[in-house]
């Protein structure tokens, strides 16, 4: 048996093993998925959805033993950029690292001085959400300026952007599309263009969302200057750990993002390649001698945040399935919304940005902006109304008791978190707050979300609906 025959046999056995071993990780509509037993089988809020394709790809990459980011990484970066319609996508080892690299890129001395984010400059963000959307702002020495969140959409109240603006100090806006629901890009883009500000879209929970503005429909993550993705298992596709920074249009940003990801180096040669600029020994930068090896010149205080090629091999197979995953998330959200429609007097459900109401046929009524959102839902958001007679925590405990996964909207009002209360006390100049953040407090106190991910079967969704209905009636 030659090596190719041996490899083919390994692949055959790997696929057979995966089919037998990982039945619970198949998509919800897969007939080979493991049986669901109500009350005994957990209903996760999210999770890995894969089959033998991803397992075979991972093992194949190990057999090739490239290990560091290489051919599979290039394939995934190219495929993701083509999907989103952006100039470049650069893989990193997590969504949090993606946010750190994207924010760090705006501090580069290679940028025009008037646009560069310097220590003490301000970056506008939103109070409710995940902490690593905000942490890089402060880690880079800027002041994080918090606006409130809308309890219905989960997104920033973008009409507060002007209130947050400080002439000469505000340099950027960095906000997330909450739970797969695009924030108001129309208002945000108009604000950023008026004041010549950078926009970083944290697209980690929103891969596959679309936004329509002035008749043009684009994926979220393709509207700002930079955007970020996470490929942690609960997200729209997974590499185990992993993420990406998307460079929307400006070629100069690619070199800067790559530099911060790759130790801060000035060289743009791919791993394993030398002298792509044909002047490896022809540079003189900083106070280094003329001709110092360009592969060892560093223009930024960077990091090493690349993932492995094995992870990228998994990601390329996931990307092929992304359109199906997106449609499953939309369908699962609609099933939950329809199944829980009788409890609108007790529970408040999310609405897409620019929608004014959900209709029983699954359509939405829209505001007069002319904008539309098409959500690739990360989760199904539920807020308990004041008159419900029970609390969010009581509902969450009931779901836990019935093995139905649920989560808070991440950190709730981040300003209430221990890290941020300490920061406000010890370094008050690192944070500025606009308004009373009543919406973020409402999300913190009354809101949770359950799953919409593609691994949910119809039986799981029916069980979830009946469990919530029994609790509300009780």
Are the C-beta atoms of residues 148 and 160 closer than 8 Å to each other?
Answer: yes
Q: Which of 22, 177, 195, 235 is catalytic?
A: 235
Are the C-beta atoms of residues 207 and 221 closer than 8 Å to each other?
Answer: yes
Structure token pair of residue 242? 């992993």
The Cα 435–Cα 415 span in angstroms is 13
Residue 210 is given by DSSP the state E
- Which value, in Å, is the radius of gyration of the alpha carbons in the chain? 23
Element (H, E) at 382: strand 379-384
Q: Is 177 a catalytic residue?
A: no
Distances (CA, A) of 178 to 130, 190, 350, 382: 9, 20, 11, 13
Structure token pair of residue 170? 């505000």
The Cα 37–Cα 50 span in angstroms is 21
Element (H, E) at 17: helix 3-21
- The residue among 246, 171, 240, 168 whose CA lies nearest residue 206 is 246
The Cα 262–Cα 303 span in angstroms is 6
The owner of tokens 């490929």 is 231
- The residue among 288, 309, 210, 243 whose CA lies nearest residue 101 is 243
124-155: b (≥16 Cβ within 10 Å) or e: bbbbbbbebbbbbbbebebbbbbbbbbbbbbb
Q: Enumerate residues 6+ apart whose C-beta is below 8 A from 86.
A: 221, 222, 227, 246, 247, 248, 249
DSSP SS3 for 171: strand
Structure token pair of residue 120? 């003490």
Structure token pair of residue 330? 């939309």
DSSP SS3 for 235: coil
DSSP SS3 for 330: helix
Full DSSP string of 62-76: HHHT--BS-HHHHHH
Are the C-beta atoms of residues 151 and 101 closer than 8 Å to each other?
Answer: no
User: Residues with catalytic annotation?
Assistant: 235
């Amino acid at each position: 048996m030659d090596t190719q025959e041996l490899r083919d046999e390994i692949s055959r056995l790997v696929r057979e093993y995966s089919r037998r071993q990982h039945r619970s990780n198949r998509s919800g509509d897969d007939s080979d998925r493991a049986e669901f037993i109500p009350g005994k089988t957990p209903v996760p809020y999210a999770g890995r959805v894969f089959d033998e394709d991803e397992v075979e790809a991972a093992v194949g990459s190990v057999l090739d033993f490239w290990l560091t980011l290489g051919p599979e990484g290039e394939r995934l970066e190219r495929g993701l950029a083509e999907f989103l319609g952006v100039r470049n996508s650069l893989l990193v080892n997590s969504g949090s690292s993606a946010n750190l690299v994207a924010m760090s890129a705006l501090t580069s001395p290679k940028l025009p001085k008037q646009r560069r984010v310097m220590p003490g400059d301000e970056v506008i963000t939103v109070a409710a959400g995940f902490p690593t959307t905000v942490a890089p702002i402060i880690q880079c020495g800027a002041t994080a300026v918090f606006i409130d969140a809308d309890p219905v959409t989960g997104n920033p109240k973008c009409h507060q952007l002007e209130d947050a603006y400080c002439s000469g100090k505000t340099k950027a806006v960095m906000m997330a599309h909450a739970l797969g629901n695009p924030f108001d890009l129309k208002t945000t883009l108009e604000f950023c263009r008026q004041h010549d500000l950078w926009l970083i879209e944290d697209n980690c929970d929103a891969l596959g969302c679309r936004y329509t503005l002035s008749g043009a429909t684009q994926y979220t993550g393709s509207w700002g200057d930079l955007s970020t993705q996470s490929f942690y298992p609960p997200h729209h596709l997974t590499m185990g750990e992993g993420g990406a920074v998307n460079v929307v249009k400006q070629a100069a940003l690619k070199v800067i993002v790559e530099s911060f990801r790759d130790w801060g180096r000035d060289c743009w040669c791919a791993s394993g390649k030398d002298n792509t600029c044909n002047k490896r020994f022809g540079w003189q930068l900083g106070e280094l001698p003329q001709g110092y090896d360009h592969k060892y010149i560093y223009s930024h205080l960077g990091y090493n945040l690349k993932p492995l090629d094995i992870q990228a091999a998994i990601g390329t197979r996931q990307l092929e399935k992304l359109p199906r995953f997106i449609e499953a998330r939309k369908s699962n959200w609609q099933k939950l919304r329809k199944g829980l429609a009788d409890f609108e007097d007790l529970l408040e459900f999310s609405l897409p940005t620019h929608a004014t109401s959900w209709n029983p046929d699954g359509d939405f009524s829209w505001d007069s902006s002319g904008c539309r959102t098409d959500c690739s839902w990360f989760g199904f958001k539920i807020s308990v109304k004041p008159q419900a007679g029970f609390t969010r925590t009581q509902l969450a405990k009931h779901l836990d008791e019935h093995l139905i996964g649920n989560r808070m909207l991440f950190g709730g009002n981040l300003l209430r978190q221990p890290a941020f209360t300490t920061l406000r006390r010890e370094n008050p100049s690192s944070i500025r707050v606009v308004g009373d953040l009543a919406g973020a407090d409402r999300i913190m106190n009354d809101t949770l979300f359950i799953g919409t991910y593609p691994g949910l079967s119809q039986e799981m969704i029916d069980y979830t609906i009946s469990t919530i209905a029994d609790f509300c009636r009780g």
